[in-house]
Structure 1
Amino acid sequence: MINVVYDIKVYRQVLKEIIQEDDVVVELGCHVGNSTRIISQLAPKGKIIALDKGTESIEKLEELNKEVGTSIEFIQSDVRLHETLEEVAKKVNELGGCDVLSVDLGGGYHPDTTFKVFYIWSSTLKPRDTIIRNRGLLDFIHSTSTSEFIRSEEGWLESCRDDGVPKRLKELKLYSPKV
């Protein structure tokens, strides 16, 4: 299932509803680890791969990892880069797959980038559940109407199962010929 929320309290409540104790969780945009802490409590037998490009994340995630054990792996990197996706996809495959993809890239900003990152990462990792925190996407969803009904039941857009990922997305500096 794909969940789109904005309010941080709702975001964390949905995490509590979807994460199981042995899940592999990929968290894009972990910032200083406040939600990562919650995820680590929800998945004590699982693995968390937390990513953020900000330098303020490094020290906080190192402290959190020492506190909760080795279940958290922090990667300081830009999630828009192919190298980052390739590195995480390899790790996730070694762990048996991704259960939950958590996307929180700025909360209310850049819904276009947030959606593109979600699409690329979820199409590659094919998680059971995804949660996206972004005001722009939520506003878009609630402002639309259509007579067509296309629905994905997984944490990725399986309705586009064989369409693949676009080979070149210049604005994301992401080249993905392998996915």
Structure 2
Amino acid sequence: MFARPLPVSFAFFLSLAAPAAAQPVSTPAEQTQTQQLNQNITDANRAADAKKAENNALYQQQQARYQEQLTVYKAGQKNYQERAAIYLAARDRYIAGHAQYQRATWPARYQQSLIVDTNDLLGARVRTSNGRTVGQVAEIALLDGRVDALRVTLDNRRGDVWVDSGDLRFDADKKVVMTNLNRRDLYIMTQETY
């Protein structure tokens, strides 16, 4: 039969393991150095956390500023679109209303005399195609560097009216702006609002 193993005391194993488990004792200088290293790591972690918090706060401020600017931009876009719609509707009404005015046929000498140069326009007298003086040029509206319309101050304090360049010609010899609109229609145009 089998032989029974001899009992080994637990104390024997402990005595064998004791020297291996023993920890070396640090010197005071090593302990101070370890504490200093631990403190440096703690300080570095605190500084990194503080920098991260500062960066996060700065990011949140920038994000809030961006959201404010975005809100202002969207409000401006909405306002612009509303104003553009109002302008386009007024322009369409103006074009429709302007089409009803009576226009005289241009005399042959003015057929091609479009307004190109603006040097002599301000203050120039404005006449109808039949030669009657109706006012003088007070302002010039340019589009892409070309005359788009003139604001004419009518005589006898009748008011101001904008006349499209298509209804205007410039007599360079006499330095006079001619319009094919008649005087009555010009007076009516001063009362229109868009």
**TM-score normalised by the chain length of structure 1:** 0.21
> Larger radius of gyration, structure 1 or 2?
2
**TM-score normalised by the chain length of structure 2:** 0.20
Higher relative contact order (CA 8 A, sep 6+): 1
